[in-house]
Amino acid sequence: MARWFRILPHKVSPLLLTAAAVVIVGFAGGGAEAAASGPFLAHQALYELKLLKSRGSNSINSARGRILYNFSGSACEGYTSEFRQVSELDSGEGKLTLSDLRSTSWEDGDGKSYRFKIATRMNDTDSSPVDGMAERSGNQITVKLKQPEAKTFTLDGTTVFPTEQIQRIITAAREGKSVLELMVYDGSDNGEKVYNTLSVIGQPIPGDRSIETPDPSTANDVMKSLKRWPVTVSYYDRDAKAKDGEQTPVYAMSFELFENGVSRALVLDYNDFVISGALGKFDVKDSKPCK
């Protein structure tokens, strides 16, 4: 996908899936780094969610839902993504949690500017929306929030936004690197959260290799010949203190990332349970190349 989707048990926020995305999830062209790895693909993807396994004290009985992801744009006009996730979790004894998350964002092709809006509805109750923008200048990023409350603060300039995160993962994969560490900001939670991420990149999968579980992406004429990589990204709370010298990730997501940013075969691990996201529908969209 064109960016990732970080899909939380009671709240979903977009983050890589361009690949990914959720996560989620495909892309379109990027800045200087993206130019080296080829343009991202403008597309729409529909992911079907279901429970893979449940474990721990906060286990659940069942989970189902869908993610609809739209990605468009180019390096010259920036990248726009629209994301919606509707999901239902059954924790037993008739306790159902129905969530509906919607987000829209725009990211400058050079990763210097980022705008976002996120709205969440949980069991017929609307949560406070998140609305803001972030601008990179020199060695820092200035974030200006309109909601949930007006606030301005700064972030370390090495922090990246979602599309740039995907660009860097693809660049690292092309260079044969197996590990990539990044700080990522996408406006999720209350608009103030920054995550430390660890990406582990597997060996490339050639486009002509047979696949056991084909889906609309592997059957698409645009995608058939493309290389992809198995990737696992773990997200850590930057502000949490490690216990016994080791920090447990808040969650992790695994997927196969195509060289044009589209993602398939999502697996979302929230420690107490694991959800899969199978690509049910995939459509390539028209895009305008940079002049």
* Every domain of the chain and the residues it spans: 5-104+157-284
- Segment-wise mean pLDDT, segments of 10 residues, the chain, 291 residues: 41 32 32 45 92 82 91 88 90 83 91 93 86 94 95 95 92 96 91 93 90 85 88 89 71 92 90 90 83 74
**Distance (Å, rounded) from C-alpha 19 to C-alpha 255?**
9
Confidence at residue 247, expressed as pLDDT on a 0 to 100 scale = 81
Q: CB of 87 within 8 A of CB of 12?
A: yes
Dihedral sign, Cα of residue 146, residue 151, residue 156, residue 157: positive
| Cα distance between residue 92 and residue 70, in whole Å | 33
Quote the Cα angle for 139-151-134, to 5°. 40
Q: How far is CA 278 from CA 29, 132, 153, 170, 212, in A?
A: 24, 31, 38, 21, 13
**76 DSSP 8-state letter:** T
Distance separating alpha carbons of residues 120 and 10, to the nearest angstrom: 9
Within 13 Å, how many C-alpha atoms sit on residue 17's CB side?
36
DSSP run (H or E) holding 196 = strand 195-201
pLDDT at 41: 87
Q: Report pTM.
A: 0.84
Q: Residue 243: its pLDDT value, please?
A: 57
Query: Is residue 14 within 8 Å of residue 24, measured between CB atoms?
Result: yes
